[in-house]
Every structure is written in C-alpha cells, then in structure tokens.
A and B are shown apart, each in its own frame.
Chain A
Amino acid sequence: MPRTLNRILIYTALIVWTIIALFPIFWTFSTTFKVAKDVQLGHIIPWVDFKPAWLGLRAIGLSPDTIFTESTPRTEFIKRFWNSIQASIGASILALILGSAAAYGLSRFQYKWKIWKNRDISFFFLSQLILPPVVLAMPFLVLYKELALLDSMIGLILIYTLSVLPIVIWIMKDQFDTIPQELEQAALVDGCSIWGAFFRIILPIAMPGMVAAFILSVILCWNEYFFAALLTSSYAKTLPVMVASQTGSQGISWWSMAALSSAAILPLIIIGIFLERYIVKGLTTGSVK
C-alpha cells in the first residue's frame, strides 16, 4: 500500500510540475488566437471561455486568408527570423571553434602568464558570466560605433560569440579532461602530429560534448534580447526585438506578440524534443565510467 501511495504522490508532483512548466507555452500559443477582450478578461480555455480568432496570425501574415497574399508584416517576420538564425548559428559555430581550441589548450598544456596559470585562466573565462551585461552596454555601444559594427550581422555574431564563449569553454574543457592523455600519446606514437591527434582522435571522442555545447549556445543566442535591442536597429534586428516592439497606437497588440513569440519558441521546442538526449549525453559524459 505505501508503495502505491508513494507512486501517487510522485506522479501528482510530476503532473503539477508539468502543468507549471507547460502553462506559459500554452498561454502564449492560445493568446495568438485571442482578441483584445479575451486577453483582458483572462479567458483561458479555447472554445469554452473564448472563440479562437485568426487575429494574431493575420498580424504577421500567416492566417489562412493572408498567407497567399502580399504581406509586409510577413516579409518583416521572415527577415527577422532569418536574422535570428544567422546570428545564433553563426555565433555558435564561431564559439565552438574558438572555445574548443581554448578548452583543449587548457586541458592539455600548461600555460603561465605572469602569476596566472591554467586554473586562473579558466576562472577568468568563466568569470565573464559574473558581470551583468548591462555594465557592458555603454562600452560596447561606443566600441561598435567606432568600429562601424552597429546594426550589422557581423557585429551581432561577434558579441554573441563573446557571450557564449565562457560556457562553451567550460563544457569542452570538462569534456577534454575526461579523455585520457594516453589516447593522444598513443596517436603520436602511431604516427600523428599534435594536430592530427586532435582532429583524428580527440575531436570524434569529444563530439557529444560539442553537440551539447553547440545546442546550448544556439538556444542562448536565439533568446538574446538585450544586445540585439541595443546594437541593432533596422537591418540586423532579430526576432526577440521584433516581439518586444509589437506596440501599436492602441497599446500592445498581445495577439501578434503572442504569434511572434510562438514562432520564436517553436524551434527551441523542436530542439528540446529531438536533441535533448544529445545535450544530456554531452553534459554527463565522464560522470559515469
């Protein structure tokens, strides 16, 4: 009997937590189909509390009656969506290349710069996460203005690379640390150069970690709002910035904001469902031998 009770308690807790976790997503999706009155009255259940309308999707040109016609909002939306893809994938690839190289170095070679050694360098990288991004707003604005990087895709990719680099280095260093050094040494004896050993032996083994680091940084960049809002305006603006700017003359257009948010969440949900096991595998290698 206590076992059954145990199970009931566990499942109740899990169900409650699932609802808590999924409710915001449901709220966003359902708001897409609400008119202003439904939003303000806090109607929740479609077809019971409110009658779904195409308002939100029409606002970005994706409702059945607008999808085959010319639509400025849709063009705008696709442009922002594409910008987000470019910025997050571009930055993640760059961060992965730089971060893996840095992590490999920190994991395998001993560095010394004045009183700084490997541990201090690792901590320096990680410490970049301690600083709130707001502190960097002014300096970056000035710097980007001087370098003519404002409102450019390259500028956005660079700052995103910088912001995810600490996490990539941390994950990859952990990954490389779990690979025994004898593997490279065996490769060296077998006839590889140092780079050969890295590319032929170490990289393939570190692949799960690289996939995890890549997915994680894509997610972080995809959701980034602060620097995108600060450093871009018309050309390089990303989806989160567009979501936030859905304010019309009659206040906030909740439905179109919800429609854009849904579109922004969707790729992440897909990543979450299909690639979750790679993330877990990558982040837990080495913990179980």
Chain B
Amino acid sequence: MASVEIIDVRKSYGDQEVIHGVSIPISNGEFVALVGPSGCGKSTLLRMIAGLEDITAGNIRIGDKVVNALPPKDRDIAMVFQNYALYPHKTVAENMGFALKLRKTPKAEIEGRVKKAAEILDLVPYLNRYPRQLSGGQRQRVAMGRAIVRAPQVFLFDEPLSNLDAKLRVQMRAEIKELHQRLKTTTVYVTHDQVEAMTMADRIVVLHDGIVEQMGSPLDLYDRPANLFVAGFIGSPAMNMFKGTIRATGAPHFETADGTRLPLAAVPPGLDGRAAVYGIRPEHLSLGGELKAQVTVIEPTGAETQVIARLAGEKIIGVFRERVSVKPGEMIAMSPDLKLVHLFDAKTGLRLG
C-alpha cells in the first residue's frame, strides 16, 4: 500500500494540451474516484499513473518514489480494464497467476494465492475454464482477481463496470467496495457514472476538459458544489437551474428573465442585483407552495414520483415521495427547501455564498 501524488501533471498530444496541470493527492488506503464526462482526461490520467501514457510535464509519485520514467512493470500497480483484457489463451487460474509467474514466485505459492483470491471472488469452480466460457460478471471478477492476487501498492480501475448490465453493475459496485474495505489498498477508480463515484468513493475528483473542477467527499460535492459544472454533474436527476437576478428588495427572492419569483431564505451581503443562476435539486422540492408549474410528464417508480414540468420557460424536475395525482397539462404547485437552494455567479459559474 502506498500514497499516490499527482503534482501539476500535464499531457499534450502534439501541440494540443488535453490535461492542464492537475494536482491530486491520494493518501494511503484511500478510494478515490475520478469522474467526468467522456473526453475530460480521466482515463488518460489513470493511464499516466499506470505508466501506459507518457507524462508531458509534472510529477507522479507512488509511495515516496517519482515514477515518471518507470515502466508499468516496475510501478507495482494492478489495473482492471473496461473490457477486462483477460488473456483468451490462458485459463482463469493462469490469468490470475500470470503476474506472479512473471515475478518467479514459487508454483505452490502462486496456487495458494490464486486459490485464496478465487475464494474471495467466488471463482473456485471456474479456475480451469477459459475466459470465453464465462459470463460478463464472472470475467469482471477474474479481472479483479488478477489484480488482487498480486497485492499491489495501488489498484487502478478504468470504468470496470460499464460493460455490465444495470443489475450486475449495482451488485459488483458493492463487491468492489467491500473488497476495498477488506484489503484497504489505495484505489483510483475512473468512471463517467457519478452514481458509481458517489456510492463507492471516499473522495471524488470531478474532472472537466482536463482540469479539476472540484475535489471532496461525495456528500461535500452534493451539498456544496463549487461551480455550475459540478452542480449539474453530481446528482441524478440533475439539479434544476434558472438564470436571473438576485433581489433583496422586499422579501429576498430571485427573479428570472420572465419575472417569475423564486424564493430565497436571505440574500448574502453584497449580492443584491447580481446576475446569477438559481439551483435547486429535484429531491429538495416539496409539493404545495408558491411555485406553479405546468406538468409535461409524470414518471411514477413506486417508491417516488418524478414530475417533469415547465416553470419560467425552463424545465423543472421534482422528485416526491408522495403519489401525485395531477395529469400532464395541469398545473402543479411546489416549493423549494430554502436552506438547500444554491446560487452561482452567472458569469464565472462559481458558487455564491
């Protein structure tokens, strides 16, 4: 186990820079998720930690060693790939033991360690099968088994669950988290799925266009998104947002372009008249109140009801625990939880107050 430190790392292809000076400290035993839309540089960053991609500038440290120039085999890391990358001509046991075999580990020890990993991952009956004879979920487990038999310093996961169906994904999510709690190995996990990142990680790094937008615990990011991008990216369904102006005259409120008034608890000092974006999460709206929106779609899931409606010319989504009896086309009344309203600067997109 070791800490990983990414220090002002940059990556260019030709004269096009795709990662613009990213610094992420990862402490020993931590589970960090790198999350962001496709093309944000998260996979490139992971591959730079693995040594599969050159570092244009900056440093990457694993433990107390700068690994910039080290080939992957000398970094003592294990990686799980999106398409599993199992060796098709080797059995499950050979796949899992390959790294140990390369390190000239005695045969008996390889067998023991493979067996132990197989027990953890429920793979014992499949040890002599070939990857093509396994289901997607089993292949995924073999890929993880290959990583854990080595007991490496760092686990690297590159979107390991995106090839699985929804149900299996939820199941494997829990398994990976459990595995981490058991092994306590430093883990860097890349995903585009913010739910995966939220549920698994100790800390989330949101990347966008090659820069770090925000770093923090899952609930930090959810409760206090630093800017509009993080606010829109974290949380599902996404946060409702309205453009307009902050008004302190009379009762504090937020006025949209068409004059709709959205309530505010208080106006932070010095922000009266500021052009801003008003954000409220769908789950922080409750039924009844001063906002009247026209319903377009109702999506009941049983546990909750999702209402898509139009307010002030924008789409607004509300998620309610109650059953909703209105029909599309009718008006629905809702109100935001004032303590949970977010304000962002309209120009910079940064959080206000």
Is chain B a partner of chain A in the same complex? yes
| A182 with B102, Cβ < 8 A, contacts A188-B73, A189-B72, A189-B77 known | no
Chain A residues contacting B88 (CB-CB under 8 Å) are 205
> In the bound complex, do residue B52 and residue A192 qualify as a contact, i.e. CB atoms below 8 Å apart?
no
For residue B273, CB closer than 8 A to chain A, the reply is no
For residue A185, CB closer than 8 A to chain B, the reply is yes
Q: List 10 A-B contacts (CB under 8 A).
A: A182-B85, A183-B85, A185-B50, A186-B85, A187-B87, A188-B73, A189-B50, A190-B99, A192-B73, A193-B71
> In the bound complex, do residue B77 and residue A191 qualify as a contact, i.e. CB atoms below 8 Å apart?
no
> In the bound complex, do residue B85 and residue A191 qualify as a contact, i.e. CB atoms below 8 Å apart?
no
Contact of B72 among A180, A182, A188, A201 (CB under 8 A): A188
For residue A204, CB closer than 8 A to chain B, the reply is yes
Contact of A186 among B79, B89, B150 (CB under 8 A): B79
> In the bound complex, do residue A201 and residue B102 qualify as a contact, i.e. CB atoms below 8 Å apart?
no
> In the bound complex, do residue B85 and residue A180 qualify as a contact, i.e. CB atoms below 8 Å apart?
yes
Chain B residues contacting A191 (CB-CB under 8 Å) are 73, 99, 102-103
Q: Which 8 A-B pairs have the closest CB atoms?
A: A182-B85, A191-B102, A190-B99, A186-B85, A188-B72, A191-B73, A182-B81, A189-B79
- The answer for the CA separation of A193 and B102 in the assembled complex, in Å, is 10
Minimum C-beta distance from A90 to chain B (A): 28
For residue B78, CB closer than 8 A to chain A, the reply is yes
Minimum C-beta distance from B155 to chain A (A): 11
| A183 with B102, Cβ < 8 A, contacts A189-B73, A189-B78 known | no
Minimum C-beta distance from A258 to chain B (A): 45
| A201 with B87, Cβ < 8 A, contacts A185-B81, A189-B78, A192-B102 known | yes
Residue among B73, B79, B83 facing the most chain A CB atoms (10 A cut-off): B73
> In the bound complex, do residue B102 and residue A180 qualify as a contact, i.e. CB atoms below 8 Å apart?
no
For residue B130, CB closer than 8 A to chain A, the reply is no
B51-92 with Cβ < 8 A to chain A: 51-52, 71-73, 77-79, 81-83, 85-89
- The answer for the CA separation of A204 and B77 in the assembled complex, in Å, is 25
Chain A residues contacting B150 (CB-CB under 8 Å) are 190
Q: Which residue of A lies closest to B147 (CB)?
A: A189
> In the bound complex, do residue B99 and residue A185 qualify as a contact, i.e. CB atoms below 8 Å apart?
no
A112-160 with Cβ < 8 A to chain B: none
For residue B146, CB closer than 8 A to chain A, the reply is yes
A195-233 with Cβ < 8 A to chain B: 196, 201, 204-205
For residue B98, CB closer than 8 A to chain A, the reply is yes
> In the bound complex, do residue A193 and residue B87 qualify as a contact, i.e. CB atoms below 8 Å apart?
no
> In the bound complex, do residue A193 and residue B85 qualify as a contact, i.e. CB atoms below 8 Å apart?
no
- The answer for the CA separation of A185 and B86 in the assembled complex, in Å, is 11
Q: Which residue of B lies closest to A201 (CB)?
A: B87
Q: Which residue of B lies closest to A179 (CB)?
A: B88
Contact of B81 among A186, A196, A201, A204 (CB under 8 A): A186
- The answer for the CA separation of A204 and B87 in the assembled complex, in Å, is 10
> In the bound complex, do residue A180 and residue B77 qualify as a contact, i.e. CB atoms below 8 Å apart?
no
> In the bound complex, do residue A185 and residue B98 qualify as a contact, i.e. CB atoms below 8 Å apart?
no
> In the bound complex, do residue B89 and residue A185 qualify as a contact, i.e. CB atoms below 8 Å apart?
no
Contact of A193 among B50, B73, B82, B83 (CB under 8 A): B73
- The answer for the CA separation of A180 and B81 in the assembled complex, in Å, is 11
Q: Which residue of B lies closest to A182 (CB)?
A: B85
Chain A residues contacting B82 (CB-CB under 8 Å) are 182
Chain B residues contacting A185 (CB-CB under 8 Å) are 50, 52, 72, 79, 81, 85
- The answer for the CA separation of A114 and B86 in the assembled complex, in Å, is 38
B254-311 with Cβ < 8 A to chain A: none
Minimum C-beta distance from A197 to chain B (A): 10
> In the bound complex, do residue A188 and residue B52 qualify as a contact, i.e. CB atoms below 8 Å apart?
yes
> In the bound complex, do residue A183 and residue B71 qualify as a contact, i.e. CB atoms below 8 Å apart?
no
Minimum C-beta distance from B146 to chain A (A): 7
- The answer for the CA separation of A178 and B83 in the assembled complex, in Å, is 14
B141-167 with Cβ < 8 A to chain A: 146, 150
Residue among A183, A189, A196 facing the most chain B CB atoms (10 A cut-off): A189
Q: Which residue of A lies closest to B75 (CB)?
A: A189
> In the bound complex, do residue B73 and residue A205 qualify as a contact, i.e. CB atoms below 8 Å apart?
no
- The answer for the CA separation of A41 and B271 in the assembled complex, in Å, is 111
Chain B residues contacting A187 (CB-CB under 8 Å) are 87, 98
Chain A residues contacting B77 (CB-CB under 8 Å) are 189
Q: Mark B95-119, 1 if CB is under 8 A from A, else 0.
A: 0001100110000000000000000
Q: A185-B50, A186-B86 are in contact. List 13 more A-B contacts (CB 8 A).
A: A180-B85, A182-B82, A182-B83, A185-B72, A186-B79, A186-B85, A186-B87, A186-B146, A190-B99, A190-B102, A191-B99, A191-B103, A193-B73
Minimum C-beta distance from B13 to chain A (A): 11
- The answer for the CA separation of A231 and B209 in the assembled complex, in Å, is 63
Q: Which residue of A lies closest to B74 (CB)?
A: A191
- The answer for the CA separation of A182 and B50 in the assembled complex, in Å, is 12
- The answer for the CA separation of A188 and B75 in the assembled complex, in Å, is 10
Q: Which residue of A lies closest to B156 (CB)?
A: A189
- The answer for the CA separation of A196 and B51 in the assembled complex, in Å, is 16
Minimum C-beta distance from B97 to chain A (A): 10
Chain A residues contacting B89 (CB-CB under 8 Å) are 204-205
Q: Mark A94-109, 1 if CB is under 8 A from B, else 0.
A: 0000000000000000
Chain A residues contacting B71 (CB-CB under 8 Å) are 188, 193
> In the bound complex, do residue A190 and residue B81 qualify as a contact, i.e. CB atoms below 8 Å apart?
no
- The answer for the CA separation of A250 and B99 in the assembled complex, in Å, is 72
Chain A residues contacting B102 (CB-CB under 8 Å) are 190-192, 196
Minimum C-beta distance from B284 to chain A (A): 41
- The answer for the CA separation of A189 and B51 in the assembled complex, in Å, is 8
Chain A residues contacting B50 (CB-CB under 8 Å) are 185, 189
- The answer for the CA separation of A201 and B95 in the assembled complex, in Å, is 11
| A190 with B83, Cβ < 8 A, contacts A204-B89, A205-B88 known | no
- The answer for the CA separation of A190 and B103 in the assembled complex, in Å, is 9
- The answer for the CA separation of A46 and B6 in the assembled complex, in Å, is 84
Chain A residues contacting B103 (CB-CB under 8 Å) are 191
- The answer for the CA separation of A189 and B78 in the assembled complex, in Å, is 6
Minimum C-beta distance from A217 to chain B (A): 24
